[in-house]
Amino acid sequence: MEPVYVALLLMWLMLFTYAILGSIDFGTGFWAMYYQRRQNDEAAKIANNYLSPGWKVTNVFFVLLVVSFVGFFPGAAPTLGTLMIVPFCLALLLLTIRSAFLVFAYSTAKYKEMLTLVSGMSGLFIPAILVSILPAAIGGFIEYAAGQQYILLNELFISPTFYTHIGFGLCTELFIAALFLSDYAREGGHMETYRVYRKNAVFLGPITLAFAVAVIFTLIPEAPWMFENFLDVWWIYTISLLAFAIGYSALWWPSSRNGKGQPRASFLLIVLQFGIASIAYGSALMPYFLYPDLTVHDAFTNEAMYQSLLIGYIIGMAILVPVFIGYWRLFLKDKRYLTSAEK
Spatial distance between the Cα atoms of 117 and 121, rounded to a whole number of angstroms: 6
Spatial distance between the Cα atoms of 48 and 177, rounded to a whole number of angstroms: 12
User: Is residue 305 a contact residue for other proteins (CB under 8 A)?
Assistant: yes
User: Is residue 229 a contact residue for other proteins (CB under 8 A)?
Assistant: no
The binder of ligand HEM chosen from 6, 9, 13, 60 (CB under 6 A): 60
Spatial distance between the Cα atoms of 238 and 280, rounded to a whole number of angstroms: 10
Residue closer to other proteins, measured from CB, 103 or 220: 103
Residue closer to other proteins, measured from CB, 87 or 282: 87
Task: Tell me, by CB under 6 A, how many residues bind ligand HEM.
Answer: 4
- Minimum CB–partner distance for residue 10 and ligand HEM (Å): 19
Stretch that binds ligand HEM, among 36-44, 56-64, 155-163, 264-272 (CB under 6 A): 56-64
- Minimum CB–partner distance for residue 6 and ligand HEM (Å): 25
The binder of ligand HEM chosen from 6, 13, 63, 242 (CB under 6 A): 63
Handedness of CA 40, 44, 49, 52 (dihedral sign): negative
Spatial distance between the Cα atoms of 82 and 180, rounded to a whole number of angstroms: 36
Residue closer to ligand HEM, measured from CB, 61 or 291: 61
- Minimum CB–partner distance for residue 191 and ligand HEM (Å): 35
- Minimum CB–partner distance for residue 184 and ligand HEM (Å): 23
User: Is residue 56 a contact residue for ligand HEM (CB under 6 A)?
Assistant: yes
User: Is residue 218 a contact residue for ligand HEM (CB under 6 A)?
Assistant: no
Phi/psi at 40 (5° precision) = -95, 90
Q: What is the number of other CB atoms lying within 10 angstroms of the CB of residue 143?
A: 11
Q: Are 75 and 305 in contact (CB under 8 A)?
A: no
What share of residues in the chain are helix, strand, coil (percent, to 5)?
Answer: 85, 5, 10
User: Is residue 331 a contact residue for other proteins (CB under 8 A)?
Assistant: yes
Torsion angle of the four alpha carbons 96, 99, 100, 106, in this order, in degrees rounded to the nearest 10:
170
Stretch that binds ligand HEM, among 30-38, 58-66, 106-114, 208-216 (CB under 6 A): 58-66
Residue closer to other proteins, measured from CB, 163 or 337: 337
Residue at 159: amino acid letter: S
Bridge partners of residue 130, in order along the sequence: none
Q: Which of 189, 179, 169 is nearest to 247 (CA)?
A: 179
User: Is residue 6 a contact residue for other proteins (CB under 8 A)?
Assistant: no
Residue closer to other proteins, measured from CB, 70 or 272: 70
User: Is residue 64 a contact residue for other proteins (CB under 8 A)?
Assistant: yes
Spatial distance between the Cα atoms of 122 and 95, rounded to a whole number of angstroms: 7
Residue at 125: amino acid letter: F
Residue at 5: amino acid letter: Y
Binding to other proteins, residues 76-135 (CB under 8 A)? 77-86, 88-89, 92-93, 95-100, 102-104, 106-111
Please give the full DSSP string across 121-132, using - where no structure is assigned.
HHHHHHHHHHHH
User: Is residue 59 a contact residue for ligand HEM (CB under 6 A)?
Assistant: yes
Listed in sequence order, the residues at least 6 apart from 34 whose beta carbon sits closer than 8 Å to its beta carbon are 120
Handedness of CA 112, 115, 121, 122 (dihedral sign): negative
Contacting positions for other proteins (CB under 8 A): 52-54, 56-57, 59-60, 62-64, 66-68, 70-75, 77-86, 88-89, 92-93, 95-100, 102-104, 106-111, 148, 301-302, 304-305, 308-309, 312-313, 316, 319-320, 323-324, 326-327, 330-331, 334, 336-337
Contacting positions for ligand HEM (CB under 6 A): 56, 59-60, 63
